[in-house]
Structure 1
């Protein structure tokens, strides 16, 4: 699309949407793709139709980008819009005032569960897509799912159950759900909260779910203006809720310092029975910086001179025995999109991966990060000023006795001008080292949100 100085930031440069769907085979590879990487890397993100301005980075139609790897080759790249009812022109709010959960942009994440690939967004139903990224349709699990589904469900690595929640702008404001490993919706439980808030992510341990009830609240006034319907509410408060998985709906709340968290890294139960939650935490002043840059109205108190608009890794330790909360900064390096080895979800873990964008304007510099909890060590793969890293997804090696960091990180990187992209493959044990491989993609891929590695089934 043609851009000018007045074009919003979310429609230009490395965020600029693409205008069409393509399929290109036999992609060029620099370095050597590990033969164990047999599967598909899929990533979701917002991509308005040509000429559209959705008014906010979060509001564009969903588009999936996929790269097929097999036997050391990059077989194809393809991109497809997720064909929701919104893409077909249907409004989210029906004439009678109810919400159409199929008329939302499924633009945030893509996961696989029980043999189905689901494109996700937090304010609507999931949409099933094929391995070739064609849309099958909305999924409500036999009519049992009547709320939206978070874009950040958590798969228990031992049971295979998928834990998730839905939030709403009208009651019920928060509902917990669980899918069995076979894909049946077996549990739904309403959770009482003070009102409708933007609850983007949550956490699980081996025995708990942890909900983030934070002061990014729904505003009917903002919704009626047609803008982002959520904004900072100083009066709402901030708390984390711990729910035993065997007692769905029973939540104990812990007051925390005001903040906002888009993304949790992980959580676990420690040896003393405390719930430990790590996430990318924004202070209120940082919210005030970052929110308008996304296309929303100003949020939070006035930004301070020290505010960067960036989140930092932070830990909350919640003690159900005495109700105490300990809050600890894990790093002062700005970062987002924290990820871990999926085999460690809800369990004690050592490594967190994330992406960073240091500096401002022409001095901005992107990197992929690895935080080693055991050594309190942060290392980075510096991508320089001209390239922006997307979320780094960990893919384990095939060794059954592997160490936690034995595997690779996959990230779609895009030049700041949006002209070119690569699938970057890093050794997770040596993040600062030279890339293992780089797959040249046939177009600039807009920097988006979240993705997954879908490994081929064993032969």
Structure 2
């Protein structure tokens, strides 16, 4: 590759991988870091080894970037590859199209549960990493986990249980799991679906799990040639499955209009017993545009001239009493990575945060967004034109009886040429206002996927 003309978009600009691992101390800070921020902000994303082209943005080896904050200071930045067997050249996809659960790139999310840090990708076991980001190894929870683990588990804020699922290429295609607050795998239940589909996310309420069975189905021929093994299937249909948490495996399905959803914002049960689900929805015409912009060609129906390739926040209301489904649009297209206060997961929430301009196409100006559902208002923190915003993670203030938006939003911003990055700290109650603080990072951090704020208290 001698010019950027021949370099795929996911390997250049703000997507360009970094070639090495570094550590830097005493990072420069503009503004004032809240002293309550004592912990680590960790963010995962794909970062192929130098000279490698995974063929798709989703395929690169995982790298976790971490910023350590304490007592109003930014103590360090470090980045480390998650050292899975993929880095040693082990094949990720077997000849029959199934995934080796110990090989996956671990490149999508990084969370804490029961005092341990897990790097996640939906095609394999989780990988344990240390607070300093060294890799410990894969974890199958004492041999009890026999499927992959989604990169989007949900922690119930009341019980502390971690609900998740795994999907596979062979029957059973979908399995629900639950970890106790202490980290023990206590429940696994198979769920019947029509075919293996790409199920990236799901949702919980205080009494349900909600699964997204959507028309992005597995294609073994793509897997065998090393391409991303999913594509749009017009004949598959789209539905949401509601499973009572006290009856694992029993799912009632609700048909919805065809679409694709990477990321759910939240879900809850309303006072009429209906299940309300919010997510970033791609219309069918936008799926091909979105998918082809990320890697190895179209995966959806023919795009219309008006297709943007962008998602819009959407709401589904599922009524178990009548079987009715109500669908409505909550925002205009152009946002992704919806997040909420973790203390509201599975419960009604007033605020949903998101970012604009997260993909190779995108809008001319990136922004961090706050949707206020009570007032139906949108607050926007626009960035300079040369910046891209990463997922905005909410960190609560910890004050007694705090308001839902009493806290901060953390997001890594990167210049569009990929040369420089900062940790942006916003007041969640005043998203449109000036930043609370900005931490200058010692290198450009490639645009990635998901991260977590991990306070010192949970790591002992």
Q: Using a 3 Å threshold, how does the CA distance of structure 1 residues 166 and 359 change in structure 2: closer, same or farther?
A: closer
Match of 2:325 in 1: 325
Instruction: Map residues 2-41 of structure 1 onto 2, 5 A cutoff.
Output: 4-41=4-41
Q: Using a 3 Å threshold, how does the CA distance of structure 1 residues 108 and 304 change in structure 2: closer, same or farther?
A: same
Q: Give how far 1:300 is off.
A: 1.9
Q: Give how far 1:301 is off.
A: 1.7
Instruction: Map residues 60-459 of structure 1 onto 2, 5 A cutoff.
Output: 60-94=60-94, 99-357=99-357, 364-457=364-457
Q: Using a 3 Å threshold, how does the CA distance of structure 1 residues 361 and 172 change in structure 2: closer, same or farther?
A: closer
CA contact (8 A) 2:231 2:299 kept: yes
Q: Secondary structure at the match of 1:310?
A: coil
Q: Give how far 1:225 is off.
A: 2.5
Q: Secondary structure at the match of 2:87?
A: coil
CA contact (8 A) 1:109 1:451 kept: yes
Q: Gaps spanning 5+ residues in structure 1: where?
A: none
CA contact (8 A) 1:212 1:241 kept: yes
In 2, Cα distance between equivalents of 1:296 and 1:185: 36
The Cα offsets for residues 220-250 of structure 1, whole Å up to 9 and x where unpaired, read as 1222232110000000000000000000000
Q: Secondary structure at the match of 1:27?
A: coil
Q: Using a 3 Å threshold, how does the CA distance of structure 1 residues 97 and 327 change in structure 2: closer, same or farther?
A: closer
CA contact (8 A) 1:363 1:385 kept: no
In 2, Cα distance between equivalents of 1:222 and 1:164: 27
In 2, Cα distance between equivalents of 1:83 and 1:137: 8
In 2, Cα distance between equivalents of 1:38 and 1:284: 43
In 1, Cα distance between equivalents of 2:374 and 2:114: 34
The Cα offsets for residues 274-298 of structure 1, whole Å up to 9 and x where unpaired, read as 0000000000001011110010321
Q: Using a 3 Å threshold, how does the CA distance of structure 1 residues 358 and 421 change in structure 2: closer, same or farther?
A: closer
Q: Using a 3 Å threshold, how does the CA distance of structure 1 residues 191 and 415 change in structure 2: closer, same or farther?
A: same
Q: Give how far 1:97 is off.
A: 7.5
Q: Using a 3 Å threshold, how does the CA distance of structure 1 residues 261 and 97 change in structure 2: closer, same or farther?
A: closer
CA contact (8 A) 1:66 1:79 kept: yes
CA contact (8 A) 1:318 1:326 kept: yes
Q: Secondary structure at the match of 1:320?
A: coil
Equivalent residues, number: 459
In 1, Cα distance between equivalents of 2:91 and 2:360: 37
Match of 2:42 in 1: 42
Q: Secondary structure at the match of 2:26?
A: strand
CA contact (8 A) 1:201 1:212 kept: yes
In 2, Cα distance between equivalents of 1:200 and 1:122: 7
Q: Give how far 1:384 is off.
A: 2.9
Q: Secondary structure at the match of 1:291?
A: helix
Length-normalised TM-score, structure 2 = 0.97
In 1, Cα distance between equivalents of 2:396 and 2:113: 18
CA contact (8 A) 1:427 1:435 kept: yes
CA contact (8 A) 2:212 2:241 kept: yes
Q: Using a 3 Å threshold, how does the CA distance of structure 1 residues 156 and 8 change in structure 2: closer, same or farther?
A: same
CA contact (8 A) 2:42 2:451 kept: yes
CA contact (8 A) 2:270 2:276 kept: yes
In 1, Cα distance between equivalents of 2:204 and 2:214: 17
In 1, Cα distance between equivalents of 2:118 and 2:146: 17
CA contact (8 A) 1:358 1:365 kept: no
The Cα offsets for residues 180-233 of structure 1, whole Å up to 9 and x where unpaired, read as 000000000000000000000000000000000000000112222321100000
The Cα offsets for residues 322-355 of structure 1, whole Å up to 9 and x where unpaired, read as 1100000011141000000000000011000000
Q: Give how far 1:419 is off.
A: 0.5
In 2, Cα distance between equivalents of 1:96 and 1:225: 11
Q: Give how far 1:100 is off.
A: 1.8
Length-normalised TM-score, structure 1 = 0.98
The Cα offsets for residues 97-138 of structure 1, whole Å up to 9 and x where unpaired, read as 864211110000000000110000000000000000000000
The Cα offsets for residues 137-157 of structure 1, whole Å up to 9 and x where unpaired, read as 000000000000000000000
In 2, Cα distance between equivalents of 1:310 and 1:94: 33
In 2, Cα distance between equivalents of 1:88 and 1:301: 37
